[in-house]
Amino acid sequence: MFKAPYPPYDPTDKNCFSYETVYKRWPIILTGIIDHLHRLNHDCAMEMQQDIADDKRAELDVRVQASKDIIGTISKLKYQMARDHKLELIPSDNEPFVELYNTELAELSQSNKDTWFTAPWLYAECYLYRLLRSWFTTSPSMFWQSFDPFFGQKMDTLKSSGDAIYQLATTLHEVSEEKDTLESDPDKLGVLFKEMVQMCLWGNATDLSLLTNPSHADIQDLQSVGRDAQEKRKDFILRDDQDTVWAHLKTLKGGRVDFALDNAGYELFTDFVFADFLVTYTPYVSRVVFHPKLIPWFVSDVTPPDFRALIESLSDPSFFPPSNRETAEQSKAHVEAMVSRWKRYIDEGKFALSVPADTPLGPRGVTEGDVVKKGGFWTQPYAYWDMKERATELWEELAKESGLVIFKGDLHYRKLTGDVRWPAFTPWETAIGPLAGSFPILSLRTSKADVVAGVNGEVADKLDQEQGNKWRVNGKYALISFCPAKKQT
Ligand code: F6P
Ligand code: MG
């Protein structure tokens, strides 16, 4: 397995983002789950006061009791985290990777790096979400077994994204009116491609694990779209491989593009818009495959139910709260046209999830092996350097079938680079280790963690001097990093 020449960021270093995460952000996220469960218990209590059938009452009773147990376990975890206790083994829960996580943990304990503040941040954070999953999936109440504690939050943010969504739907409509010119003017298509890349890139700024308590105004601000907003953000793109990606895409003919998805809601919407552009307006792409996470992950990541929920929400004219924009009615029609096209693409297989569309949370019960092989890798705690060995089937499929794999977001970036202390000037191809050359890779990331590679060393030094690590973690800066496939000999 690949060994990087640099260590991970030291989680005990108070100047690193990992320290702040363990100390501040995770407790807030865990408290959020506890509050959410309390609210749901309250709703159950109200329902139980009604005249309901006995079996329903019994089910609610089990549900409430089980949720009290989960609340107790999460509270204990918060306590242990704050006191830097050891990470405990993940209980056997019939879902994948328990052994894999526990073996890794045993290795960390050999080097005394198995407590909350000493374990490598990437491992500890993946472990946290896998551990949470095990408590829900082993619950005696069926209700909690398929429960996503972040689903409500994801839907609320989507609801708050109506303005940007309507605006982008209108943009797509305007693009459709120019279809003929686009076909005859490749330069224009190239300009539009860049606008789409940037829209999709900045869609990654709305991340609920970073914005632990976003207000409606925060969300609107982050989602300001259109040329002016893009122009303002241009200087914040510290690496920009858009021209090379475009040159590469133009070599494809009806090819396949894969999205290793990041966040649900607005970001997923921007992924769809980008995918729609590629399939509808370019001759280069005819099919897009979207790769979700199979369990609730880093708060806002897309699961198969989130994927379905986006299409359902966009199809429901009453989903977004009314807005006072004059063009609301017209935009509504644009959203309608857009979502019916997307549904058609899904029916025709032009847009597909990498796992069956109806995959429930946790791949239990569905052709398990296959679902795990196609989608499990993303929720393992590993860097992507050794994807070929660790997820051979997925790697082979991408290497054989995909014309471009787009990795969205910060966590994918951390895993692509192994989350280690690469000097910022390290070539991107070096930082992604042996994965480089496997298939064409495009990472679209707004920066929310310390690791950075492939940027101009002087620029990075200057930012480090002026801002400490702020520029690396506050989501204001972004990187568009491309690495082509190795030529077959
Ligand atoms: O909490 C750690 C972290 O990985 C940060 O790096 C980032 O803020 C977030 O979680 C995930 O970001 P994204 O949704 O862009 O992958
Ligand atoms: Mg995410």
What digits encode the pLDDT tens for the residues 250-293? Answer: 999 999 999 999 999 999 999 999 999 999 999 999 999 999 99
Which atom of ligand 1 is nearest the CA belonging to 475? Answer: 8
Output the pLDDT for position 230: 67
Q: What is the mean pLDDT of residues 465-483?
A: 95
Would you state the structure tokens that stand for residue 101, as one six-digit string? 């996580």
Any idea which ligand is nearest the CA of 413?
A: 1
Q: CA 7 to CA 111: how far, in whole Å?
A: 14
DSSP, collapsed to helix, strand or coil, labels residue 375 as helix
Average pLDDT over residues 96-105: 97
Which ligand is the nearest neighbour of the Cα of 204? 1
Report phi then psi at 185, rounded to 5: -130, 90
User: Could you give the CA distance from residue 54 to residue 62 in angstroms, rounded to a whole number?
Assistant: 12
Strand partners, 8: 420
* Res. 326 pLDDT band, cuts 50 70 90: low
> What is the model's pLDDT at position 489?
61
- CA of 210, closest atom in ligand 1: 8
* Dist. CA 103 → ligand 1 center (Å): 24
Residues 6+ apart with CB under 8 A from 203: 223, 266, 267, 269, 270, 271
Spacing of C-alpha 291 from chain mean position: 10
Q: What percentage of the chain has pLDDT greater than the value 90?
A: 81
The ligand with the least distance to the CA atom of 410 is 1
Instruction: Find the angle CA(466)-CA(446)-CA(331) to the nearest 5 degrees.
Output: 130
The whole-number pLDDT of residue 24 equals 92
- Return the best residue to mutate from 150, 200, 210 for the ligand 1 pocket (most ligand atoms within 8 A of CB): 210
* C-beta neighbour count of 12 within 10 angstroms: 12
> Quick one: pLDDT at residue 413?
98
SS3 at position 418: coil
Q: Which of 291, 448, 469, 477 is the best mutation target for the ligand 1 pocket, counting ligand atoms within 8 Å of the beta carbon and taking the most? A: 448
CA 381 / ligand 1 centre spacing (Å):
14
Q: For residue 301, which atom of ligand 1 is closest to its CA?
A: 14
Architecture of domain 17-140: Up-down Bundle (1.20)
State the pLDDT at residue 234: 82
What confidence score (pLDDT) does residue 186 get? 86
Residue 376 vs residue 219, higher pLDDT: 376
Top mutation candidate among 126, 132, 410 for ligand 1, by most atoms within 8 Å of CB = 410
271 CA to centre of ligand 1 in angstroms: 17
Identify residues whose C-beta is under 5 A from ligand 2, the ion: 262-263, 298, 301
Query: Which residue has the least CA distance to atom 10 on ligand 1?
Result: 209
In tens, the pLDDT along 140-177 reads 999 999 999 999 999 999 998 898 899 899 999 999 99
Q: Is the pLDDT confidence value at 451 over 50?
A: yes
432-446: b (≥16 Cβ within 10 Å) or e: bbebbebbbbbbbbb
**Is the pTM for the entire model greater than 0.75?**
yes
C-alpha 421 – ligand 1 centre gap (Å):
17
The answer to whether the beta carbons of residues 362 and 133 sit under 8 Å apart is yes
The three-class DSSP label of residue 478 is strand
223 SS3 class: coil
CA distance 157 to 214: 8
Ligand nearest to the CA of 450: 1
**Separation of 375 CA from ligand 2 center, angstroms?**
16
Lining ligand 1 with CB less than 6 A are 21, 125, 204, 207, 209-210, 262-263, 298, 409-411, 414, 448-449
Instruction: Tell me phi and psi for residue 88, to 5 degrees.
Output: -90, 160
CA distance 487 to 214: 45
| Buried b / exposed e along 99-114 (16+ C-beta atoms within 10 A) | ebbbebbeebeeeebb
> Is residue 215 predicted with pLDDT exceeding 90?
no
Position 11 scores a pLDDT of 84
CA of 413 to the centre of ligand 1 (A): 9
Q: Where are the domains of the chain?
A: 17-140, 152-483
Band the pLDDT of 219: cuts 50, 70, 90.
very low
CA of 344 to the centre of ligand 2 (A): 27
> Of residues 343 and 217, which shows the higher confidence score?
343
Residue nearest (by alpha carbon) to ligand 1 atom 7: 448
b/e sequence 66-86, b meaning 16+ C-beta within 10 Å: bbeebbeebeebeeebeeeee
Atom of ligand 1 nearest to the CA of 300: 14
Residue with tokens 């019916």: 340
Average pLDDT over all residues of the chain: 92
The closest ligand to the CA of 448 turns out to be 1
Q: Decide: helix, strand or coil at residue 150.
A: coil
Residue 344: pLDDT above 80? yes
Say yes or no to pLDDT of 463 above 50. yes
Residue 45 has pLDDT above 50, yes or no: yes
CA 268 to chain centre: 8
Which pLDDT tens digit goes with each residue over 32-42? 999 999 999 99
Q: How many residues does the chain have?
A: 489
What is the per-residue pLDDT for 209?
Answer: 47
Distance 477 CA to ligand 1 centre (A): 14
pLDDT (average), residues 324-328: 58
Looking at the CA of 443, name the nearest ligand: 1
